[in-house]
C-alpha cells in the first residue's frame, strides 16, 4: 500500500493506493480514528460488483452498516437524489457524529460529499472511488456538489474528505471506454506536471489497458501525487489549481455543445488537449515534435469519437458562456514544454475563434 | 459607528453597529473591497419598511441592484425557497464573483447565507440584520441553513459572512413581541458573560424597550461583542461556543413540543433560562438571591405565555431526542454566578426529569 498526503493543515488527509484495499477498509478507517459504523452511499452496479469485500470488511470492524443507494448516471446527480440521501440519513438515525463513505465513481463522490458537507452543518466523509476517473481526479480535492438545470456542478461547496482509499483492483471490471476516459486524465496529469509519468505511459500503455496490477498502481499513484500536490498548494482554486483544467476549456465546451451525450468526460478532455496543443503551437508555445509526441499518446489510448456534427456556433457559445468564470476573458492552460504548464489569461478571442473553426473542420 | 471584530484568521470580519447605517451601506461595503453590484435577498415586509435607504445607498455606489424576494416566516426557510433563490441568482446573471446581501431577520440570513455558501462552491455574503434577534445572534457566527421536515436547521453549513452591518434604527418598526424575543437573547448574553451588561439592562430596560437610540445601540453592541468573542474562540461549536446555548436545552424542547407556534424563540429561551436557574439552584450552583435577580429581569422584559397545555411527555421526548447531539447524555449550560457560565455534560436524567415535571406543574 502506498500513501500520498494532501497537505491542507487541519484539513489534511491521506490517499491510500493499493491492489486489494477494499478488503482492508474496516481496519484502515478504524486506524484513522473512526469508531462508529459509517453510512455507505453507493449505486446498485458498484454494490453488485464490489460491495461484498467492502461491506464485509466494514462489518467485521464496525458491526451492521447502513447502505444508501442512488441511481447511476450523471443525470441523477441532482436535487432529488440529494433529498433522498438526506431522508435516508435521517431514517438511518444519522447525527452530527456520523460519517459517510462515498463508494463509487464521480457522481457518488460528488453527491455523497455534498450531502456530508451540508448534513447538520457538515459531517466527515471518506472516498472509496471505483472508477479510474474518480481515483485520479474527482475523489481528491474536496469539490463536491450537484447539477441543476442551469448547468453542471453549479451548486456545491469545498468539503475535503477525511481520507481516500483507492483499490486499483476494482478497475478490472470497468468498461474499456470508462477506463480510457480516466486514462485521458492520467495523460493530462503527466502533460502538465511529469515527463516521467508521460514516458511511463508511452512505454507501458498496453499493460495499463489490460489492468496489470503493478502498472495500474503506478499510474494511479503518480496521478494522485500530482493532483494532491496541486490541491495542497491551492485548495480553493485561487489560481494555481487551474492547471488541472488543461484540455478542459475546449473539453467542457465540447461536452456542453453535445449535451454530455457524445463524449465521455475524458474523451472531451482528450480533444481539448489536442486543440490546446495545436493552438499552443500556433502561439509558438510548444514545438510540434513535442506536440506530436503527446498527440500520439492520446491517439493510442482510444480512438476518439469524431467531431462531426458539432456546429461551431454551439461550441463557441458553450465556450464563451461558461458562466462560472464571471469575465469576458477566456482562460486556457498551455504547455511551454511537456511536463510543465502555464495559465494563459488573455487568450485572443478572435484568434481562438478562427483556430477552433479550422480545428472542427480538420477533424470533421 | 462602532466596530467589533470577529477574529477567525482569514475568515475574520467586522460587525458595524450604529443608528442610521442603512443609508451608508454603499460606501461601507465599497470600503470593504466590494466593487460589483450585490444581489440583495430580502422579504416584502422588510423591503417595504426599510428597503429604500438601503437600495438608494447601494445604487448610488454600485448602480442598479437585483433584489430577490423570499416569503416571510420560519416555515419558508426551506428547500423550495432555496431553489427559488438559486433560480433568481442564475436569472440575475450571478457568477463566482457575485456577492449577496442578506437583508432581513434570521430566516433571510440563514437562507441567503446557505445560498451563498453553496452557489458555485461559495460566494461572499454580508448580513444586514433587521430584527433584534438577528442583530445580536443569528447574523454573527456563520451558522446558515434550512429546515427540513425532520427538523429545524438540520441541513446547513458554516459560512462566515464578510461583514455585518447593524442599523439599530430599524428596530423601531419591530412588533414589541419580536423586540422582546431579541431582548431575551440579550439577557442571555449578559447572564453568561457580563454582569455589567446585566446591570445596564436592569437600569435602562424602559429606554431600551422604547427604542431610544443610545440605549439600543449600547445593548446591541455589547451583545455583539460577547457573541463575537465566543465565536472567535470556537468557530465550529467544538465546545466553548455551546455556552451560547444557555436556556436553549429546555427552550428548544419547548419550541419543538409546541410545534414552534406557542412561543417566540426568545420566549422559549426565557423559560429555558428560568428552568436552568432553578435547576442550577437545586444543584447548588447559583444562590437564589442571584437567581431571583435574573428571573426578575426576565419577567420584566415581557409577560411570558404560560406553560399550560404542554404535556410533560412531549417536552421530555423533544428534549431527549434532540438528534443533533448524537449522544444519550443531556447537556445544559448552568451559571456558577451571574455573568459566568459552565457547560455541564453529565446532567442526571432522572433528576432533570423530576425537576421538569415539577417546573411544568408550577408554571401551569
The HSE-up count of residue A207 (CA atoms within 13 Å, CB side) is: 13
pLDDT, tens digit (0-9, with 9 covering 90-100), for B274-317: 999 999 999 999 999 999 999 999 999 999 999 999 999 999 99
How many angstroms separate the Cα of B169 from the Cα of each of B18, B72, B103, B131, B211? 8, 21, 14, 10, 8
Parallel/antiparallel/unpaired status of strands A100-104 and A125-129: parallel
Residue A281's Cα: distance from chain center in Å? 27
Among all residues of A, which ones are annotated catalytic? Answer: 121, 143, 185, 227, 237, 241, 245, 248, 252, 265
Output the pLDDT for position A327: 59
Which pLDDT band holds residue B328 (cuts at 50, 70, 90)?
A: low
> Exposed, middle or buried: residue A143 (CB in 10 Å: 0-12, 13-18, 19+)?
buried
Closest among B97, B99, B109, B183 to B142, alpha carbons compared: B109
pLDDT in tens, B53-62: 999 999 999 9
pLDDT tens for each residue of A15-35: 999 999 999 999 999 999 999
B238 — pLDDT class (breaks 50, 70, 90): confident
Q: B81: phi > 0 → left, psi -120 to 50 → alpha, else beta; which?
A: alpha
- Name the residue among A96, A148, A325 with its Cβ closest to that of B86: A148
A-to-B residue pairs, Cβ atoms closer than 8 angstroms? 82
ipTM: 0.95
3-class secondary structure, B324 = helix
What's A348-359 look like in SS3? CHHHHHHHHHHH
Least CB–CB distance from A156: residue in B121, B145, B148 = B121
Q: Which three cell numbers stand for residue A245?
A: 483544467
The one catalytic residue in B178, B227, B267, B302 is B227
Region for A70 from its dihedrals, namely left if φ exceeds 0, alpha if ψ lies in -120 to 50, beta otherwise: beta
Q: CA A290, CA A306: separation in Å to the nearest integer?
A: 23
Interchain contact, B95 vs A325, CB within 8 Å: yes
Residues of B in contact with A79 (CB under 8 A): 79, 83
Closest CA to B161 of B201, B204, B126, B136: B126
Q: pLDDT averaged over chain B? A: 96
> How many angstroms separate the CA atoms of A171 and B86, rounded?
37
Q: Do A323 and B122 touch (CB under 8 A)?
A: no
Check pLDDT > 90 for residue B152. Answer: yes
* Interface contact A117, partner B, CB < 8 A: yes
Among candidate residues A76, A241, A77, A231, the one with its CA nearest the CA of residue A160: A231
pLDDT of residue A329: 78
> What are the structural domains of chain B?
2-173 (3.40.50.1970), 176-362 (1.20.1090.10)
Q: Is B245 a catalytic residue?
A: yes
Please state the pTM of the whole predicted model: 0.96
Q: What does pLDDT average to in each consecutive run of 10 residues of chain A (364 residues)? A: 96 97 98 97 98 98 98 95 98 96 98 98 98 98 97 96 98 97 98 98 98 97 98 93 96 94 97 97 93 98 96 93 64 95 92 96 90
| Position B80 confidence tier, pLDDT thresholds 50, 70, 90 | very high
Report pLDDT digits (tens) over A211-239: 999 999 999 999 999 999 999 999 998 89
Please tell me which residue of chain B has the smallest CA distance to A143: B121
Distance from CA of A197 to the nearest CA of B (A): 31
Chain A positions touching B154 (Cβ under 8 A) are 90, 119-120
Q: Are A29 and A163 in contact (CB under 8 A)?
A: yes
Residue A150: list chain B partners with CB under 8 A.
86-87, 90
Question: In 10 A of CB A1, how many CB atoms?
Answer: 14
The closest alpha carbon to B124, from B105, B107, B144, belongs to B144
Question: Is-contact A92 A39, C-beta < 8 A?
Answer: yes
pLDDT in tens, A153-205: 999 999 999 999 999 999 999 999 999 999 999 999 999 999 999 999 999 99
For residues B194 and B239, the answer to whether their CB atoms sit within 8 Å is: no
d(Cα B107, Cα B96) in Å, to the nearest integer?
24
Amino acid at each position: 500500500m502506498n500513501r500520498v498526503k494532501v497537505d491542507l493543515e487541519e484539513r489534511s488527509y491521506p490517499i491510500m493506493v493499493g491492489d486489494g484495499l477494499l478488503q482492508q477498509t474496516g481496519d484502515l478507517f478504524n486506524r484513522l480514528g473512526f469508531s462508529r459504523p459509517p453510512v455507505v452511499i453507493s449505486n446498485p452496479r458498484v454494490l453488485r460488483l464490489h460491495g461484498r469485500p467492502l461491506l464485509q470488511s466494514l462489518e467485521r470492524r464496525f458491526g451492521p452498516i447502513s447502505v444508501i443507494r442512488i441511481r447511476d448516471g450523471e443525470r441523477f446527480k441532482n436535487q432529488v437524489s440529494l433529498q433522498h440521501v438526506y431522508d435516508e440519513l435521517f431514517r438511518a438515525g444519522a447525527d452530527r457524529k456520523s460519517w459517510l463513505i462515498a463508494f463509487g465513481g464521480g457522481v457518488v463522490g460528488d453527491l455523497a460529499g455534498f450531502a456530508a458537507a451540508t448534513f447538520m452543518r457538515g459531517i466527515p466523509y471518506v472516498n472509496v472511488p471505483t472508477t479510474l476517473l474518480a481515483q485520479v481526479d474527482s475523489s481528491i480535492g474536496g469539490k463536491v456538489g450537484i447539477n441543476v438545470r442551469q448547468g453542471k456542478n453549479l451548486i456545491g461547496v469545498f468539503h475535503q474528505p477525511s481520507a481516500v482509499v483507492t483499490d486499483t483492483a476494482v478497475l478490472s471490471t470497468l468498461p474499456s471506454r470508462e477506463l480510457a476516459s480516466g486514462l485521458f486524465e492520467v495523460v493530462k496529469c503527466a502533460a502538465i506536471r511529469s515527463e516521467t509519468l508521460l514516458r511511463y505511459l508511452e512505454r507501458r500503455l498496453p499493460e495499463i489497458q489490460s489492468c496489470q496490477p503493478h502498472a495500474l498502481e503506478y499510474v494511479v499513484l503518480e496521478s494522485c501525487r500530482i493532483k494532491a500536490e496541486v490541491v495542497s498548494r491551492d485548495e480553493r482554486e485561487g489560481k494555481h489549481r487551474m492547471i488541472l483544467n488543461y484540455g478542459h476549456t475546449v473539453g467542457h465546451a465540447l461536452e456542453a455543445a453535445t449535451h454530455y451525450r457524445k463524449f465521455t468526460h475524458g474523451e472531451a478532455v482528450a480533444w481539448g488537449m489536442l486543440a490546446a496543443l495545436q493552438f499552443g503551437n500556433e502561439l509558438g508555445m510548444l514545438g510540434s515534435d513535442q506536440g506530436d509526441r503527446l498527440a500520439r499518446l492520446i491517439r493510442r489510448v482510444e480512438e476518439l469519437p469524431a467531431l462531426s456534427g458539432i456546429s461551431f456556433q454551439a461550441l463557441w457559445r458553450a465556450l464563451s458562456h461558461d458562466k462560472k468564470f464571471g469575465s469576458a476573458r477566456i482562460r486556457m492552460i498551455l504547455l511551454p514544454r511537456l511536463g510543465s504548464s502555464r495559465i494563459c489569461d488573455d487568450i485572443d478571442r478572435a484568434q481562438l475563434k478562427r483556430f477552433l473553426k479550422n480545428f472542427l473542420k480538420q477533424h470533421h
